Chains A and B, each alone.
Chain A
Amino acid sequence: MAIVTYILHDGRSKDIEVKTGESVKDGAVNNLVPGILAECGGALACATCHVYVDEQWFDKLEPAGEVEMDMLDFAEDVRKNSRLSCQIDITEEMNGLVIHVPEEQY
């Protein structure tokens, strides 16, 4: 279990308890965090679960795989700390993780 803070585009934020083994996407989708669409349900087929991982945390996460990198490259407003949230699985060590939700997924 880890508490993840989702900071929305408009500055509002939500602290959500996400179970170990669930993804950052699951935490958002299960708790109606707006802005993370995750249309394919985590199948790495849609790239509508794009998020920015807080700079403090980015390097602490397992790096993105090849397919994720390829898909990310075409997402809207990609930055250095962009990730697809369905590919970030929660571990105990991620307690306090901060995620920024982009304005748009398309």
Chain B
Amino acid sequence: MKVVIIGAGHAAGQLITSLKMDETITGSITLIGDEPWLPYQRPPLSKQYLSGEMDVDQLYLKPKEFYKASKVNIRLGHHAQSIDRTAKTVTLDNGDKVAYDKLALTTGTRVRRLSIPGADLEGIHYIRTIDDTDNLRKQFAPGKAMTVVGGGYIGLEAAAAATKAGMKVTVLEMADRVMNRVVAPEVSTFFEALHRSQGVDIRTDIQVTGFTGEQTISAISCKDSPDIKSDLCVVGVGVIPNTELAETAGLKCDNGIVVDDHAQTEDPDIVAAGDCTAHPNGIYGSQIRLESVQNAVDQAKAAALSILDKPETYCAVPWFWSNQYDVKLQIVGLSEGYDQTVVRGKPENSAFSVFYLKGGTLIAVDAINSAREYMMGRKLITDHAKPDPTRIVDTTIPIKELV
């Protein structure tokens, strides 16, 4: 069997591992990726790798020798241009054709770029790849002014790393609070206060209209407010799923490549996994697209099993984390559609958690320096538990005895 994987990211790395762990697999595996690196972890790119606490070798999911020993054909530095589903071939940017019996699409996402005036100036950074972080870190120097456009978790992590490096950081968020897409207002308030206590200037409800400077950025213009002097800028305003290849091949896409709960597309010989997929989630009963390591890993496992013709249903509670300064945020579940939040612990103590309920059922937990609540949340959400809100707030009741 010839397995071809397009996109050499986190999901691809897991897919190869899962295929190789199966003792029955025979045939070849080809990995096509347009970045020059073997599959690596992106989370440290805005955390320990940006702050210089981790080196590049530690980012790789598997060492080089693993791919050699596993005889994986590596085609890095090549973009897959098109898929011919009838001939079952993939055409690369250099015209090479690669034949497949089973094809996996793990194309991930790309950053959304700003298209406002001055957006092409030097000194405006995005964070998605090793190069991105290397280039950004080279610009770090004490005393420099850095502005972050977008108060999502990547922008805030970059703000924390830059602050630690002695820079003067401003964060500009269009919405009325930071991380508004993922966490409850209580959690946003906590992180805003945390950053401010470290000297970061956090401004919400502010709209960036352009960048000015000669060749390199020197200031950022905002609607209804004075220009902000900046030596460099980090933009984190979301990502776009890489679905064009699948779309052109006639596969159904809807904010992601549409797959079933076995990571299977409508073509029986094509699976897809990771950030690029729109998939059903059995726990929440809806079609979702996730941008997380958990999903990349778990869905890639399901994709491998589909390729091996041993299908197993992918149905997991999503989880996620973010580190800022010495604070650890852990999120489990999806809070969308909640009708009640219950806070356990005190934000003043830098350890608290927010429980999200929908019709009494626990659907998500945001845990700040509260690993126990996070772990318990994971169990309870899987069980569709209905914890009593009066017991959630009562910290004299050990979290294990919540239900």
Contact B41 A29 (CB under 8 A): no
A46 touches B319 (CB 8 A): yes
A45 touches B63 (CB 8 A): no
- 4 new A-B contacts, CB < 8 A, other than A39-B297, A71-B371, A73-B372, are A39-B294, A41-B41, A43-B43, A44-B371
The reply to whether B321 and A45 contact each other, CB–CB distance below 8 Å, is yes
Closest to A71 in B: B371
With both beta carbons as reference points, the residue of chain A lying nearest to B377 in the complex is identified as A74
Is residue B328 contacting chain A, with contact meaning CB distance below 8 A? Answer: yes
Q: Check B21 against A45 for contact (C-beta < 8 Å).
A: no
Given A30-B66, A34-B21, answer yes or no on A39-B293 (Cβ-Cβ < 8 Å): yes
Q: Mask for B297-323, Cβ within 8 A of A = 1, else 0?
A: 110000000000000000000010101
Instruction: Indicate if the CB atoms of B321 and A67 lie closer than 8 Å.
Output: no
* B41: chain A residues within 8 A (beta carbon): 41
Is A70 engaged at the interface, CB distance under 8 Å to the other chain? yes
| Closest Cβ–Cβ distance, residue B372 to chain A (whole Å) | 5
Total interface residues in chain A, CB < 8 Å: 18
A30-66: contact bitstring with B at CB < 8 Å (1 yes, 0 no)?
1010100101110111110000000000000000000
From A29, A37, A43, A70, contact of B321 by CB (8 A): A43
Q: Does B85 contact A (CB under 8 A)?
A: no
Q: Tell me which residues from 110 to 138 in chain B have a Cβ below 8 Å from any Cβ of chain A.
A: none
Looking at chain B's contact residues, the main secondary structure is helix
Q: Could you tell me if B371 and A30 are in contact, using CB atoms closer than 8 angstroms?
A: no
Query: Which chain A positions have C-beta within 8 A of B21?
Result: 32, 34
Report the count of interface residues on B (CB-CB < 8 A): 25
Interface residues of B in 263-308 (CB under 8 A from A): 293-294, 297-298
CB <8 Å contact, B293 and A40: yes
B371 touches A41 (CB 8 A): no
Interchain nearest-CB distance for A33 vs B (Å): 10
Question: A39 → chain B, closest Cβ, in Å?
Answer: 5
Pair A41/B43 contact, Cβ less than 8 Å:
yes
Q: Which residues of A contact B (CB under 8 A)?
A: 29-30, 32, 34, 37, 39-41, 43-47, 67, 70-71, 73-74
Q: Does B62 contact A (CB under 8 A)?
A: yes
Pairs across A and B, CB under 8 Å, 24 listed: A29-B61, A32-B17, A32-B20, A32-B66, A34-B21, A39-B297, A39-B298, A40-B294, A40-B321, A41-B43, A43-B43, A43-B321, A43-B323, A47-B375, A70-B371, A70-B372, A70-B375, A71-B371, A73-B372, A74-B372, A74-B375, A74-B376, A74-B378, A74-B400
B301 to chain A, nearest CB (A): 9
Whether the pair B293, A41 counts as a contact (CB closer than 8 A) is yes
Chain A residues in 8 Å Cβ range of B20: 32
Interface string of B367-403 (1 = CB under 8 A from A): 0000110011011000000000000000000001000
How far apart are A90's CB and chain B's nearest CB, in angstroms?
14
Residues of chain B within 8 A of A29, CB atoms compared: 61-62
Looking at A30, A44, A45, the one whose CB has the most chain B CB atoms below 10 A away is A45
B330 sits at the interface (CB 8 A): yes
Contacts of B372 in A (CB 8 A): 70, 73-74
* Interchain nearest-CB distance for A4 vs B (Å): 16
Query: Once the chains are docked, how many angstroms separate the CA of A83 from the CA of B328?
Result: 20
Cα–Cα, bound, A73→B293 (Å): 23
Query: In angstroms, how far is the closest chain A Cβ from the Cβ of B35?
Result: 18
Could you say which residues of chain B place their CB within 8 Å of the CB of A40?
A: 43, 293-294, 321
Q: Which residues of chain A have C-beta atoms less than 8 A from B66's C-beta?
A: 30, 32
Give the CA-CA distance A84 to B340 in the complex, in Å: 34
| A30-B63, A74-B372 given; A67·B328 CB < 8 A | yes
Q: In angstroms, how far is the closest chain A Cβ from the Cβ of B336?
A: 21
> Across the interface, which residues of A come within 8 angstroms of B63, CB to CB?
30
Q: In the complex, what distance in Å separates the CA atom of A21 from the CA atom of B323?
A: 22
Min CB distance, B292 to chain A, in Å? 10
Known A-B contacts A32-B17, A32-B20; the reply to A45 vs B375 at CB < 8 A is no
